[in-house]
Structure 1
Amino acid sequence: MGIFSRTRDIVAANFADLLDKAEDPAKMIRMIILEMEETLVEVRASAARTIADQKEMRRHIAKLDQLQTNWTEKAELALSKDREDLAKAALMERQKAADMADQLKAEVQVLDDGLRASEEDIAKLQGRLREARNKQSTIQTRLESANNRYRLRDAYAGPKTQEAFSRFGELERRADEAEGRAEAMGLGVSKSLEDEIAELRQSDRVDADLAALKARLNKSEG
């Protein structure tokens, strides 16, 4: 069953209210647009039939107008020949053609009124269809934005990211343990001659730095 039952339902519809009540707004707006497009096709098809009917009726009216002219000429000919009876009969036939033409003209007028109403409906439907498509674009943009935000948040705060960082912590702990084992292996081991000389050099550099620092301080105080 469709969302709308007639053109005026579409024109009077509150899209925002329909979307607020929908479980899936994106699906609802697609359904609304589809039904509006189908209704627009139907209204245009009806207008096309009306225009075709008008054309046919106007052809009949033209034939009837010509028939009236013919009967008028025949009536004039009969009178010129002193046949008033035939002239009267011809005029009666002309009147029948005139009555039929008048009836068809009235029907054409009714169709004209209906066609103008169809044109107004088509204009309103097109306007509402543009509005619905704009809302669809807005909804699509909002959905894409929300999905992008979700992916970004999942990237920096999601369970996979948390799991990855927890693994980093485990790796750091393993590195600490490995370094600790290496350092522990050096405990209690006698230093080599090169190590002791390197320590002496390091001590000399520290002593030199300390002496330079004391000299600067004494100079600044003096």
Structure 2
Amino acid sequence: MLRVAIQVKELISSNVTSALDSMSSSAKMLHQLQREIEEAIIALEGERTKTERNLKRLKATLTQNEMREADWGDKAKAAMDHDREDLARQALMAREDCREAIASGKDDIAKAKADLKEIDEAVKELEAKREETREQAKAQSAADADKSGCSDAGASTAEKRLNRVSQMEKRTEFATEDTASARTNASVDREIDEMRRASTVDAELAALKGGAKKAPAKRARKKA
């Protein structure tokens, strides 16, 4: 997605716009731009298909993790009913893993939906640019037909622009912003998360243990 996004931004923000605004753009360059736009649209359609498949898989995985979360909670209660605190603790830890997977899955689903929206918007904009470029290429071809020839300077300018069009993967800085600080704080985040997980499990174990102790007392009163 990143490579295609860079190409789309390059096409929309500089190459196509500058070419369409220039009265000296040759028909050859405009046809080249049209082909570049069409290739970008095809690439985006491929990204759309992959993103839609990934979104479907993420939703299925989320449903499975939600079912596992409920199942591990039931198993923890069953283990405490049989005075197996060790098994109950393991079940609760497994449930916490499911909860983390659920939260991560929801984030991934939201990102996939945002990617699909971005792809749709980019395709619409590129389609408009493609039509605009195609019309100007026709007009330029007609204008070129009325001329006796082109100057060497004009040909050189067109070739330079064509070279710039082919260099469309140069803007990658935006994808790496703020990554250094995120890596620095990663270990601290993990340790704090582990402490929170342990506190949650300990609290629920204590609650389950209290419930398990009350149950035999009730049964004893019934026998009496």
* TM-score, length of structure 2 as denominator length: 0.53
Q: Is the 8 A contact 1:10 1:128 kept in 2?
A: no
Partner of 1:135: 136
- Is residue 2:36 matched to residue 1:32? no
Shift of 1:31: 0.9
Q: What are the within-5 Å matches in structure 2 for residues 118-129 of structure 1? A: 118-129=119-130
Partner of 1:7: 8
Q: Which amino acid in the other structure matches residue 15 of structure 1?
A: A
Q: Which amino acid in the other structure matches residue 65 of structure 1?
A: E
Partner of 1:41: 42
Q: Which amino acid in the other structure matches residue 21 of structure 1?
A: S
Shift of 1:103: 1.7
Q: Identical aligned pairs, as a percentage?
A: 21
CA distance in 2, matches of 1:62, 1:131: 45
Q: Which amino acid in the other structure matches residue 68 of structure 2?
A: L
Q: What are the within-5 Å matches in structure 2 for residues 40-119 of structure 1? A: 40-119=41-120
**Alignment gaps of 5+ in structure 1:** 151-222
Q: Which amino acid in the other structure matches residue 14 of structure 1?
A: S
Q: Which amino acid in the other structure matches residue 134 of structure 1?
A: E
User: Deviation digits for residues 67-105 of structure 1, max 9, x if unmatched?
Assistant: 112112212322333434322321111111111221222
Structure ID, larger Rg: 1
SS at match of 1:21: coil
Q: Is the 8 A contact 1:72 1:91 kept in 2?
A: yes
Match of 1:21 among 5, 21, 24: 24
Instruction: Give the 3 Å change call, closer, same or farther, for CA 135–21 of structure 1 in structure 2.
Output: closer
Q: Which amino acid in the other structure matches residue 24 of structure 2?
A: K
Q: Is the 8 A contact 2:72 2:94 kept in 1?
A: yes
Shift of 1:142: 5.1
* TM-score, length of structure 1 as denominator length: 0.54
CA distance in 2, matches of 1:129, 1:33: 6
Over the aligned positions, Cα root-mean-square deviation in angstroms equals: 2.6
CA distance in 2, matches of 1:71, 1:125: 49
Q: Which amino acid in the other structure matches residue 48 of structure 2?
A: A
SS at match of 1:6: helix
Q: Is the 8 A contact 2:27 2:138 kept in 1?
A: no
Number of matched pairs: 140
CA distance in 2, matches of 1:124, 1:46: 16
